[in-house]
Every structure is written in structure tokens, then in C-alpha cells.
């Protein structure tokens, strides 16, 4: 074991450029995936918050009673994609409107011009199902109009989907490249030491003694790459967030920046597992090929 | 799968109808139906013209290659059925001196010698001590730091022998260990081999130098076109004067 690790470390230096290139590839792979993951996690949190702000408003036919509207409220609340339904009376609607758009002129009106504008304001748990909800609401009797922000919901939802695919695609292709490079590094190492391996075999070395160092080497490349990526992402993403929050405070109102600690709880084990996995696989394949011959 | 000894504990090597054809068996066999038994404590010379199958015999004994047909037992292992992990254990009990030395050019003489013990899992300190002892006995003490290419032919041959003796082998195999040496250097090597023999090793030496065979004595086996054409027999072993 100590032999394998010691020789593995020596192998890292013996292979020089090869080792450096595969190490950098693993680092870059994990770094990009890490950044994408961070953005995705923040976006997810942002979408979550945005979902609370995106509302569907239902207006009813003039003359409907308040009790009737409250009955509808109960029906709508029963639907699973709905988070909350708020009843907005005509008076409240007018006050809101007046404050927002008319300011002091609001006092000039004697009668409420929005007398028939009692409404239900719905917030959703899952904004991607806004269309279903709207269709359901429009079929209800007594409903005059449904106001929804279908466009915003769709845009937010698809941005998340696109980023998820981007993460999966980038991660996968970069993993394959990393794997290939570790594989080449270990293969080159075995080829360079072919004569030594041959001699050690005749001296009675076991396969473990001969090939252990190559596993250690692959594992070290994977783990070192993961550690380097860990620091890069922590430093870079952490710094960027801090900078954005300080320089553009308005951004924090639109975007949610998750604390790095929460992101690392997922990313840390992921990096570690990926580093080990790709290191072991990258050395297992060439060693296996070598053993079969 | 087990490889239990078939012959007695005194049988170190046993070949039964061994045939070896290279490249699938279309060509003329390098060894043909060879039968041979070598007992513990024997000193055996194998001789024959170039291409008669001497190296092939050594390669079969070290399990570098497998026989096409027949049965070989070496130190109790059935070479046709031996498992991969057992080959390493078998080789630790063998000392092999190759025709081309097979020393690592980028390691010192001391490191090359130590390697034989280190691959068995022994520590560096123990391996170094043992290597120094053996190199001293070979008269190579002053050259420990030299690289193989800085050594003379005789010194390289001694280095290869030193490495083969590191694990006190029960069986010592040497393929033309005096091949390119003058008579004095050759006799030095032979003296070291007889010393190892006296220390308890069974020794098999391939050579085509009959002068050496005359001088050293021991059992003589002659190969010709892959067949055993002469065997002085196991019992006849002349003691050293
Ligand atoms: N790897 C090989 N492939 C094919 N033929 C071989 C190989 N090694 C040896 N031979 C052939 O087998 C025969 C015996 O070779 P070898 O055992 O090396 O003879 P020796 O050591 O007595 O000179 C020769 O005809 C040689 O050409
Ligand atoms: Mg030969």
C-alpha cells in the first residue's frame, strides 16, 4: 500500500506533461461543472422565489356576491399547484390602483370606478402549470377575465430546463475527455515502464505490486483535480457573488444567491466521488487491457 | 484449481512429453516430446547448437511461455495449470539469469540488485543490506553506484547473478551466463554458481562452452533440434576438487 502510493506519486512526476494535462482537464471539467451547478442552484432558488411573485388574477362578472367569490376561492385552493388565494375586494383594488397610479388625484373620484372589480389573486407552487390553471379558471361560470403572466412563467421555466441540459451535456462531455486523458496518461506510464514491469514480473512481483502504483497515480490525478476545482470554484464563485452583491445590490432583489456552504454540501461529495471514480476508471481500463495480453 | 505436487519433494523439475511449437504449431517445434527429471541439489548443464531449444526450455521453466502439449512440474507447481498469482510466488523461489542480463539502465547496480527483494514486499533497509552483502561477495562493492552501462560485460553478468541470488533461490536458472566472456571471467561466474549450488540451490546452466562443462563437471544434457539426444543421468555428479 505504501509502496503503491509512493510509486504513484513518483509516477505523477515521471509522466510530467501527461500528468499535468490530465490534471488540468479534470480541474477544468469539475470547475465548469461546479460553476454551472452554482448558477443552476441559484437560478432554482430564484425561480422558486419568482414563483411566489407570479400571480394569476381572476375577475368576476359584475354583481357577483362576495360569498360566491369566497366559495370559488375554496375550490381553487383545493388544486395542488396552488399555493395561496387572496381575495381582493373592489375597494382594496381601487385603493391599490389609486395609490400606485393616481397619487393625490385619487381623491378627485367620488365613486369607485372599479366597483365591479373584486378579484382573487392566486400564487402558485409550480408556475409551469399556470396554463392548466388558467384553462380551468376560464371555464368557471361567473369568471369575466383571467390575467396571467404566461410569458414570464414559460421563460423562467425553460431557462431552468436549458441550464439543466447544459450542465448535463457539459458535465458528460468533459467527463469523457477527463477519462480519456487519465487513460492516456496511465497507458503512457505503463508503456514507458514496460521493461521494468517485465523484469519485476520475473523477479516475482505480484500484479498488485506492479499495477498498484498506476491506480494510485490515477486516483491522485482525480483527487488533486477535484481539490483544485474545489478551491477555484469556492474562490471564484464566492468572490463573484460578493462582488455582485456589493456592486449591484439591485441584483439581489432579482436573483437569490445561495450561500456557498449550501452549494458545497452537494458539490463537495460530488467532486470527491467524481475524482475517485474517474481516477480509478481511468487507470483500471489500461491496466485491465494490459493484464489481458 | 489446485496445483499439487505429483512427484516427490526431491523432484525440482519434471517434464513429461513436452512439445513447444511457436506461432500456433504450424512451424517445426522448438522442443519435441522432451522428458526430463531434475532432482534437488543437482548441477545440470544444458548444451546444444544454436536454435536447438535451450532458451525455450528455460522460458518454459520460468513460465514466460506455455508448452503446446505435455506436462511440466517446477518446484511442485503444475506449469500448465498454475494461477497467475502463484506464478509470482514460484518466481520468488527461482533465480533467473537472462542471456541479455535485463538490468534497468536508469538504476544503479545497488538498486538493480535490491529490486529482487523489494518486489517481494521487503523493506528498503533490509533489501539494501542483503544486496550489499551479495555484491561484496561478488567483488562488486566499489561499483554499487554505477549504472549497468558503466560496467564491463563480466560485471554486468555478475550483477545479473547477484540479483538472482537475492532471495536465496531453491532453483537457479542461467541462460548462457558466460556467453560473451573471456575464460577467466567465465570461470569467475562459474565459481559463483557452484558456490550457490553448495549453499543448497539446484542449478541449471545453459552453455555451449564445453571447456567450462569439462572443468566444472555435473550432469550434462544435450539438445538437438528440440530433442534430448544425450543425458549423462542424474546420479553422476562429480564433486568439486
Ligand atoms: N519467439 C519465438 N517465435 C518463433 N520462433 C522462436 C521463438 N523463439 C525461438 N524460436 C525458434 O525456436 C527454436 C529454438 O530456439 P531457442 O530455444 O531460442 O534456441 P537456443 O536457445 O538453443 O538457441 C529456434 O528455431 C528458434 O528460431
Ligand atoms: Mg538461447
Candidates B163, B40, B171, B189; CA nearest to B103 is: B163
Q: What is the DSSP string of A131-188?
A: HHHHHHHHHSTTEEEEE--HHHHHHHHHHHHHHHHHHHHHHHHHHHHHHHHHHHHHHH
Give the pLDDT score at B107. 93
Calpha distance A15→A186 (Å, rounded): 9
Distance CA B1, CA A17 (A): 45
Whether B161 shows a pLDDT value over 90: the answer reads yes
Report pLDDT for B219: 95
CB–CB contact B96 A207 (8 Å): no
CB-CB under 8 Å, B121 with A203 = no
Residue B136 banded pLDDT, cuts 50, 70, 90: very high
| pLDDT (0 to 100) of residue A103 | 63
CB within 5 A of ion ligand 2: which residues? B 55
ipTM of the complex model: 0.87
Q: CA A65 to CA A105: how far, in whole Å?
A: 29
HEC string for A208-269: HHHHHHHHHHHHHHHHHHHHHHHHHHHHHHHHHHHHHHHHCCCHHHHCCCCCHHHHHHHHHH
Chain A interface mutation, best of B119, B174, B175, highest count of A Cβ atoms under 10 Å: B119
From the CA of B226, give the closest atom in ligand 1: 14
pLDDT in tens, B183-201: 888 999 999 999 999 999 9
pLDDT of residue A200: 94
Q: Smallest Cα–Cα separation from B97: which of B209, B225, B183, B196?
A: B196
Q: How many CB pairs under 8 A join A and B?
A: 45
Q: What is the pLDDT of residues B142-155, one digit of tens each?
A: 999 999 999 998 89
Nearest to B14 by CA among B68, B70, B55: B70
> Residue B238: its pLDDT value, please?
45
pLDDT at A197: 92
Cβ-based contacts of A206 with chain B (< 8 Å): 85, 88
Cβ within 8 Å, pair A202-B115 = no
Q: Which of A282, A182, A165, A271 is nearest to A223 (CA)?
A: A271
Which residues have CB under 8 Å from A78's CB, separation 6+?
A: none
Which pLDDT value is given to residue A114?
A: 58
Q: What is the per-residue pLDDT for B115?
A: 95
Top-confidence range, A45-54, B156-165, B209-218: B156-165
Instruction: State the DSSP H helix or E strand holding residue A84, giving kind and residue range, or none if neither.
Output: strand A82-88
- B237, B43 Cβ separation under 8 angstroms: yes
Closest ligand to residue B57's CA: 1
pLDDT of residue B61 exceeding 90: yes
Which atom of ligand 1 is least distant from the CA of B223?
A: 22
As a dihedral over the C-alpha atoms of residue B127, residue B133, residue B137, residue B138, rounded to 10 degrees, the angle is 30
Identity of the residue in B64, B89, B116 whose CB atom sits nearest the CB atom of A203: B116
Distance CA B183, CA A221 (A): 53
Sign of CA dihedral B155, B157, B159, B162: negative
Give the mean model confidence (pLDDT) for residues B4-30.
79
- Of B24-28, B55-59, B67-71, where does mean pLDDT reach its minimum? B24-28
Based on its alpha-carbon atoms, the radius of gyration of chain A, rounded to whole angstroms, reads 30
Name every residue in A having a CB less than 8 A away from some CB of B: 3, 195-196, 198-207, 209
Shortest CA distance from A201: residue in chain B: B88
Cα–Cα distance measured from residue B92 to residue A199, given in angstroms and rounded to the nearest whole number: 12
Q: Which atom of ligand 1 is nearest to the CA of B50?
A: 23
In which residue ranges of chain A is pLDDT below 50?
Answer: none
Q: What integer pLDDT is reported at residue A98 of this predicted model?
A: 64
* Tens-place pLDDT, residues B81-123: 999 889 999 999 999 998 888 999 999 999 999 999 999 989 8
Cα dihedral B187→B192→B194→B196 (10° resolution): -170
Contact B88 A195 (CB under 8 A): no
Interface probe with B: pick from A7, A10, A202, most Cβ of B within 10 Å: A202
pLDDT band per the 50, 70, 90 thresholds, residue B1: very low
Residues of chain B positioned with their CB less than 8 A from the CB of A287? none
* Strand ranges, E, within chain B: 11-20, 31-39, 43-48, 69-74, 77-78, 94-97, 171-175, 202-206, 219-224, 227-231
pLDDT of res. A81? 84
pLDDT band at B4 (very low <50, low <70, confident <90, very high): very low
Q: Which of B27, B53, B64, B97 to mutate to test the pocket of ligand 1 (most atoms within 8 A of CB)?
A: B53
Indicate the residue of B64, B84, B119 with minimum beta-carbon distance to A204: B119
**Alpha carbon separation from A30 to A25, A53, A231 (Å, rounded):** 8, 34, 11
User: Of the bound ligands, which one is closest to the alpha carbon of residue B223?
Assistant: 1
Instruction: Tell me how far the alpha carbon of residue B30 lies from the centroid of ligand 1, in angstroms.
Output: 6
Could you identify the residue written with the cell 469523457? A176
Cβ of A195 and B104 within 8 Å? Answer: yes
> Quick check: helix, strand or coil at residue B38?
strand
What was the pLDDT predicted at B239? 47
Exposure of A202 in the CB half-sphere (CA atoms within 13 A)? 25
Residue A32 to residue A274: CA distance in whole angstroms:
14
**Which pLDDT does position B237 carry in this prediction?**
45
Amino acid at each position: 500500500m505504501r509502496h503503491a502510493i509512493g510509486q504513484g506519486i513518483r509516477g505523477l512526476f515521471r509522466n510530467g506533461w501527461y500528468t499535468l494535462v490530465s490534471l488540468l482537464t479534470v480541474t477544468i471539467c469539475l470547475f465548469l461543472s461546479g460553476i454551472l451547478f452554482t448558477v443552476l442552484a441559484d437560478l432554482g432558488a430564484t425561480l422558486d422565489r419568482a414563483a411566489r411573485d407570479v400571480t394569476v388574477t381572476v375577475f368576476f362578472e359584475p354583481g357577483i356576491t362576495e360569498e360566491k367569490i369566497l366559495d370559488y376561492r375554496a375550490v381553487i385552493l383545493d388544486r395542488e399547484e396552488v399555493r395561496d388565494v387572496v381575495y381582493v375586494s373592489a375597494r382594496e383594488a381601487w385603493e391599490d390602483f389609486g395609490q400606485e397610479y393616481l397619487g393625490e388625484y385619487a381623491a378627485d373620484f367620488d365613486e369607485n370606478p372599479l366597483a365591479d372589480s373584486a378579484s382573487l389573486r392566486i400564487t402558485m407552487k409550480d408556475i409551469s402549470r399556470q396554463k392548466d390553471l388558467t384553462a380551468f379558471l376560464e371555464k368557471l361560470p361567473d369568471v369575466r377575465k383571467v390575467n396571467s403572466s404566461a410569458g414570464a412563467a414559460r421563460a423562467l421555466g425553460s431557462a431552468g430546463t436549458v441550464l439543466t441540459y447544459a450542465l448535463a451535456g457539459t458535465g458528460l462531455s468533459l467527463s469523457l475527455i477527463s477519462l480519456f486523458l487519465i487513460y492516456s496518461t496511465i497507458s503512457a506510464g505503463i508503456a514507458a515502464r514496460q521493461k521494468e514491469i517485465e523484469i519485476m514480473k520475473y523477479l516475482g512481483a505480484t500484479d498488485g505490486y506492479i499495477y498498484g502504483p498506476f491506480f494510485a497515480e490515477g486516483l491522485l490525478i482525480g483527487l488533486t483535480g477535484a481539490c483544485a476545482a474545489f478551491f477555484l470554484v469556492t474562490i471564484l464563485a464566492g468572490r463573484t457573488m460578493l462582488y455582485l452583491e456589493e456592486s449591484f445590490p439591485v441584483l439581489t432583489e432579482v436573483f437569490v444567491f445561495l450561500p456557498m456552504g449550501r452549494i458545497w454540501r452537494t458539490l463537495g461529495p460530488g467532486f470527491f466521488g467524481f475524482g475517485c471514480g474517474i481516477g480509478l476508471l481511468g487507470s483500471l481500463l489500461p491496466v485491465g487491457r494490459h493484464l489481458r495480453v | 484449481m489446485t496445483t499439487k505436487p505429483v512427484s516427490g519433494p526431491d523432484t525440482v523439475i519434471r517434464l513429461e512429453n513436452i512439445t513447444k511449437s511457436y506461432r500456433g504449431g504450424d512451424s517445426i517445434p522448438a522442443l519435441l516430446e522432451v522428458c526430463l527429471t531434475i532432482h534437488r541439489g543437482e548441477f545440470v548443464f544444458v548444451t546444444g547448437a544454436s536454435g536447438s531449444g535451450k532458451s525455450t526450455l528455460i522460458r518454459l521453466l520460468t513460465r514466460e511461455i506455455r508448452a503446446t502439449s505435455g506436462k511440466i512440474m517446477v518446484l511442485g507447481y503444475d506449469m500448465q495449470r498454475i494461477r497467475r498469482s502463484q506464478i509470482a510466488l514460484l518466481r520468488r523461489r527461482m533465480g533467473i539469469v537472462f542471456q541479455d542480463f535485463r538490468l534497468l539502465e536508469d538504476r544503479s547496480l545497488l538498486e538493480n540488485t535490491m529490486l529482487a527483494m523489494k518486489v517481494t514486499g521487503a523493506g528498503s533497509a533490509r533489501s539494501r543490506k542483503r544486496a550489499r552483502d551479495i555484491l561484496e561477495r561478488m567483488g562488486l562493492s566499489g561499483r554499487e553506484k554505477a549504472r549497468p552501462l558503466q560496467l564491463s560485460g563480466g560485471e554486468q553478468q555478475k550483477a545479473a547473478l547477484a540479483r538472482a541470488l537475492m532471495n536465496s533461490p531453491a532453483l537457479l536458472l542461467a541462460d548462457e551466463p558466460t556467453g560473451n566472456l573471456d575464460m577467466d571471467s567465465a570461470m569467475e561466474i562459474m565459481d559463483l554458481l557452484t558456490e550457490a549450488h553448495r549453499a543448497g540451490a539446484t542449478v541449471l546452466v545453459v552453455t555451449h562452452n564445453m571447456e567450462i562443462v569439462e572443468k566444472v563437471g555435473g550432469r550434462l544434457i544435450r539438445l538437438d533440434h528440440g530433442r534430448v539426444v544425450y543425458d549423462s543421468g542424474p546420479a553422476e555428479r562429480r564433486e568439486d576438487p
